[in-house]
Amino acid sequence: NAGVTQTPKFQVLKTGQSMTLQCAQDMNHNSMYWYRQDPGMGLRLIYYSASEGTTDKGEVPNGYNVSRLNKREFSLRLESAAPSQTSVYFCASSEGVQETQYFGPGTRLLVL
Amino acid sequence: AQSVTQLDSQVPVFEEAPVELRCNYSSSVSVYLFWYVQYPNQGLQLLLKYLSGSTLVKGINGFEAEFNKSQTSFHLRKPSVHISDTAEYFCAVKGYSTLTFGKGTMLLVSP
Protein backbone atom coordinates (compact mmCIF):
# COMPACT_ATOMS: atom_id res chain seq x y z
CA ASN A 1 0.00 0.00 0.00
CA ALA A 2 1.88 3.08 -1.25
CA GLY A 3 -0.79 5.56 -0.09
CA VAL A 4 -0.49 8.82 -2.01
CA THR A 5 2.34 9.12 -4.53
CA GLN A 6 3.51 12.21 -6.39
CA THR A 7 5.78 12.71 -9.37
CA PRO A 8 8.17 14.33 -9.90
CA LYS A 9 9.88 14.96 -6.55
CA PHE A 10 11.75 18.00 -7.83
CA GLN A 11 11.42 20.20 -10.89
CA VAL A 12 13.07 23.35 -12.19
CA LEU A 13 11.20 25.36 -14.81
CA LYS A 14 11.83 28.54 -16.69
CA THR A 15 9.20 31.27 -16.69
CA GLY A 16 6.56 30.51 -19.29
CA GLN A 17 7.16 26.75 -19.45
CA SER A 18 4.36 24.33 -18.71
CA MET A 19 4.29 21.16 -16.69
CA THR A 20 1.94 18.68 -15.08
CA LEU A 21 2.29 17.35 -11.56
CA GLN A 22 0.98 13.84 -11.13
CA CYS A 23 -0.75 12.36 -8.10
CA ALA A 24 -2.12 8.87 -7.53
CA GLN A 25 -3.68 7.13 -4.53
CA ASP A 26 -4.30 3.44 -3.93
CA MET A 27 -6.71 3.75 -0.99
CA ASN A 28 -9.88 3.85 -3.13
CA HIS A 29 -10.60 7.35 -1.84
CA ASN A 30 -13.30 9.46 -3.42
CA SER A 31 -11.84 12.92 -2.74
CA MET A 32 -8.49 14.36 -3.80
CA TYR A 33 -6.81 17.71 -3.23
CA TRP A 34 -3.92 19.87 -4.35
CA TYR A 35 -2.22 22.26 -1.91
CA ARG A 36 0.75 24.56 -2.09
CA GLN A 37 3.00 25.24 0.89
CA ASP A 38 4.99 28.45 1.17
CA PRO A 39 7.14 29.55 4.13
CA GLY A 40 5.05 31.16 6.85
CA MET A 41 1.81 30.59 4.91
CA GLY A 42 0.82 27.08 5.92
CA LEU A 43 -0.95 25.01 3.28
CA ARG A 44 -3.36 26.64 0.89
CA LEU A 45 -5.86 24.70 -1.19
CA ILE A 46 -5.51 25.13 -4.95
CA TYR A 47 -8.19 22.75 -6.29
CA TYR A 48 -10.03 19.72 -5.06
CA SER A 49 -12.14 16.92 -6.45
CA ALA A 50 -14.89 15.76 -4.12
CA SER A 51 -15.58 12.73 -6.31
CA GLU A 52 -14.60 11.33 -9.70
CA GLY A 53 -15.82 13.65 -12.43
CA THR A 54 -15.99 16.80 -10.30
CA THR A 55 -13.46 19.53 -9.55
CA ASP A 56 -13.74 22.75 -7.57
CA LYS A 57 -11.58 25.77 -6.95
CA GLY A 58 -9.89 26.27 -3.63
CA GLU A 59 -8.33 29.34 -2.11
CA VAL A 60 -5.60 29.97 -4.72
CA PRO A 61 -6.62 28.51 -8.11
CA ASN A 62 -5.27 31.20 -10.45
CA GLY A 63 -2.60 29.94 -12.85
CA TYR A 64 -3.51 26.27 -12.37
CA ASN A 65 -5.76 23.67 -13.94
CA VAL A 66 -6.61 20.18 -12.74
CA SER A 67 -7.85 16.92 -14.19
CA ARG A 68 -9.42 14.05 -12.28
CA LEU A 69 -8.35 11.39 -14.72
CA ASN A 70 -10.05 8.54 -12.85
CA LYS A 71 -10.72 7.64 -9.24
CA ARG A 72 -7.01 7.06 -8.54
CA GLU A 73 -5.37 9.99 -10.31
CA PHE A 74 -5.57 13.78 -9.97
CA SER A 75 -3.15 15.96 -11.92
CA LEU A 76 -2.24 19.63 -11.55
CA ARG A 77 -1.15 21.61 -14.59
CA LEU A 78 0.76 24.87 -14.80
CA GLU A 79 0.17 26.22 -18.30
CA SER A 80 2.66 29.10 -18.13
CA ALA A 81 4.81 28.94 -15.02
CA ALA A 82 5.65 32.11 -13.09
CA PRO A 83 8.25 32.67 -10.33
CA SER A 84 5.34 33.18 -7.89
CA GLN A 85 4.49 29.52 -8.40
CA THR A 86 7.78 28.43 -6.82
CA SER A 87 6.53 26.31 -3.96
CA VAL A 88 6.14 22.83 -2.54
CA TYR A 89 3.03 21.12 -3.86
CA PHE A 90 1.18 18.46 -1.90
CA CYS A 91 -1.51 16.12 -3.07
CA ALA A 92 -3.90 14.56 -0.56
CA SER A 93 -6.83 12.19 -0.61
CA SER A 94 -9.72 11.24 1.68
CA GLU A 95 -12.72 8.92 1.61
CA GLY A 96 -15.00 11.94 1.48
CA VAL A 97 -14.66 15.67 2.02
CA GLN A 98 -15.54 15.20 5.71
CA GLU A 99 -12.92 12.53 6.27
CA THR A 100 -9.25 12.61 7.29
CA GLN A 101 -6.89 13.61 4.52
CA TYR A 102 -3.74 11.63 3.74
CA PHE A 103 -0.84 13.44 2.13
CA GLY A 104 1.78 12.59 -0.46
CA PRO A 105 5.49 13.41 -0.01
CA GLY A 106 5.35 16.60 -2.07
CA THR A 107 6.83 18.06 -5.25
CA ARG A 108 9.37 20.87 -4.94
CA LEU A 109 9.03 23.28 -7.85
CA LEU A 110 11.40 26.12 -8.66
CA VAL A 111 10.45 28.57 -11.40
CA LEU A 112 13.30 30.76 -12.61
CA ALA B 1 -15.97 31.12 6.54
CA GLN B 2 -13.50 29.47 8.88
CA SER B 3 -10.00 30.38 9.97
CA VAL B 4 -7.19 29.07 12.15
CA THR B 5 -4.64 31.00 14.16
CA GLN B 6 -1.52 29.34 15.48
CA LEU B 7 -0.25 31.81 18.01
CA ASP B 8 3.44 30.90 17.91
CA SER B 9 5.53 30.52 14.78
CA GLN B 10 8.38 28.87 16.73
CA VAL B 11 8.53 27.14 20.10
CA PRO B 12 11.99 26.26 21.42
CA VAL B 13 12.08 23.73 24.24
CA PHE B 14 14.59 21.47 25.97
CA GLU B 15 14.38 17.71 25.72
CA GLU B 16 12.12 16.09 28.36
CA ALA B 17 10.32 19.39 29.06
CA PRO B 18 6.55 19.72 28.53
CA VAL B 19 5.23 21.67 25.59
CA GLU B 20 1.98 23.29 24.48
CA LEU B 21 1.34 24.47 20.93
CA ARG B 22 -1.59 26.84 20.75
CA CYS B 23 -4.36 26.88 18.17
CA ASN B 24 -7.49 29.03 17.99
CA TYR B 25 -10.16 28.76 15.33
CA SER B 26 -13.23 30.57 14.14
CA SER B 27 -16.18 29.07 12.33
CA SER B 28 -19.88 29.75 11.97
CA VAL B 29 -20.71 26.03 12.00
CA SER B 30 -19.73 22.98 14.03
CA VAL B 31 -16.21 21.91 13.24
CA TYR B 32 -13.85 19.02 13.08
CA LEU B 33 -10.32 19.80 14.28
CA PHE B 34 -7.00 18.24 13.36
CA TRP B 35 -3.32 18.43 14.18
CA TYR B 36 -0.83 17.35 11.53
CA VAL B 37 2.95 17.03 11.85
CA GLN B 38 5.51 17.59 9.11
CA TYR B 39 9.03 16.27 9.58
CA PRO B 40 11.77 17.91 7.47
CA ASN B 41 11.38 17.26 3.75
CA GLN B 42 8.33 15.08 4.23
CA GLY B 43 4.59 15.29 3.73
CA LEU B 44 2.07 15.84 6.50
CA GLN B 45 0.87 13.05 8.73
CA LEU B 46 -2.10 13.07 11.07
CA LEU B 47 -1.30 13.38 14.78
CA LEU B 48 -4.85 13.45 16.11
CA LYS B 49 -8.35 14.66 15.38
CA TYR B 50 -11.48 15.79 17.18
CA LEU B 51 -14.78 14.90 15.53
CA SER B 52 -17.16 14.68 18.51
CA GLY B 53 -17.42 13.19 21.99
CA SER B 54 -14.69 13.52 24.60
CA THR B 55 -12.96 16.88 24.43
CA LEU B 56 -9.58 15.34 25.32
CA VAL B 57 -8.13 13.60 22.31
CA LYS B 58 -5.08 11.36 22.36
CA GLY B 59 -2.89 10.94 19.32
CA ILE B 60 0.28 9.27 18.20
CA ASN B 61 3.74 9.76 19.75
CA GLY B 62 2.32 10.76 23.17
CA PHE B 63 0.57 13.93 21.98
CA GLU B 64 -2.88 15.00 23.13
CA ALA B 65 -5.15 17.97 22.50
CA GLU B 66 -8.14 19.46 24.24
CA PHE B 67 -11.11 20.93 22.42
CA ASN B 68 -12.47 23.98 24.23
CA LYS B 69 -15.63 25.22 22.53
CA SER B 70 -16.12 28.30 24.70
CA GLN B 71 -12.57 29.49 23.99
CA THR B 72 -12.58 28.16 20.41
CA SER B 73 -9.23 26.51 21.04
CA PHE B 74 -7.60 23.18 20.30
CA HIS B 75 -4.18 23.30 21.96
CA LEU B 76 -1.69 20.48 21.47
CA ARG B 77 0.32 19.17 24.44
CA LYS B 78 3.01 16.67 25.25
CA PRO B 79 4.28 16.12 28.82
CA SER B 80 7.87 15.29 27.81
CA VAL B 81 9.33 15.97 24.37
CA HIS B 82 12.12 14.16 22.55
CA ILE B 83 14.64 15.42 20.04
CA SER B 84 12.74 13.45 17.42
CA ASP B 85 9.66 15.65 17.97
CA THR B 86 11.45 18.49 16.19
CA ALA B 87 9.09 19.24 13.31
CA GLU B 88 6.47 21.68 12.10
CA TYR B 89 2.97 21.26 13.49
CA PHE B 90 -0.18 22.39 11.73
CA CYS B 91 -3.60 22.89 13.21
CA ALA B 92 -6.52 22.56 10.78
CA VAL B 93 -10.28 23.08 10.93
CA LYS B 94 -13.03 21.66 8.77
CA GLY B 95 -16.57 23.04 8.77
CA TYR B 96 -18.95 21.87 6.05
CA SER B 97 -16.34 22.72 3.44
CA THR B 98 -12.70 21.86 2.99
CA LEU B 99 -9.79 21.91 5.46
CA THR B 100 -8.30 25.25 6.45
CA PHE B 101 -4.77 25.12 7.85
CA GLY B 102 -2.98 27.41 10.24
CA LYS B 103 0.41 28.80 9.30
CA GLY B 104 2.28 26.26 11.37
CA THR B 105 4.38 26.16 14.54
CA MET B 106 7.95 24.99 14.37
CA LEU B 107 8.82 22.94 17.47
CA LEU B 108 12.57 23.02 18.11
CA VAL B 109 13.75 20.51 20.71
CA SER B 110 17.32 20.84 21.93
CA PRO B 111 19.35 18.63 24.28
In DSSP notation, B41-80 reads TS-EEEEEEE-SS-SEEE-GGG-EEEEETTTTEEEEEESS
Please say whether the beta carbons of A76 and A12 come within 8 A.
no
Residue pLDDT, tens place only, B40-69: 888 899 999 998 888 899 999 999 999 998
- Answer whether B98 sits within 8 Å of A44, measured CB to CB: no
Mean pLDDT for the stretch of residues A11-39: 95
Nearest CA in chain B to A105: B43
Report residue B75's pLDDT band, with 50, 70 and 90 as the boundaries: very high
Residue B96 has pLDDT above 90, yes or no: no
Residue pLDDT, tens place only, A31-82: 999 999 998 888 999 999 988 989 999 999 999 999 998 999 999 999 999 9
Q: What is the dihedral of CA A92, A58, A83, A74, to 10 degrees?
A: 40
Of the candidates A42, A45, A100, the beta carbon closest to that of B102 is on A42
- Residues 6 or more apart from B103 whose CB is under 8 A from it? A40, A41, A42, B6, B9
Mean pLDDT for the stretch of residues B21-35: 89
Mean pLDDT for the stretch of residues A17-26: 97
What percent of chain B shows pLDDT beyond 70?
Answer: 98
Helix, strand and coil percent figures for chain A, each rounded to 5: 5, 55, 45
pLDDT of residue A98: 72
**Whole-number average pLDDT of chain A:** 93
Please say whether the beta carbons of A6 and A20 come within 8 A.
no
Mean pLDDT for the stretch of residues B78-102: 91
- Answer whether B90 sits within 8 Å of A43, measured CB to CB: yes
A45 CB-side CA count, 13 A: 21
Report residue B20's pLDDT band, with 50, 70 and 90 as the boundaries: very high
- Answer whether A45 sits within 8 Å of B102, measured CB to CB: no
A33 touches chain B (CB under 8 A): yes
pLDDT of residue B54: 86
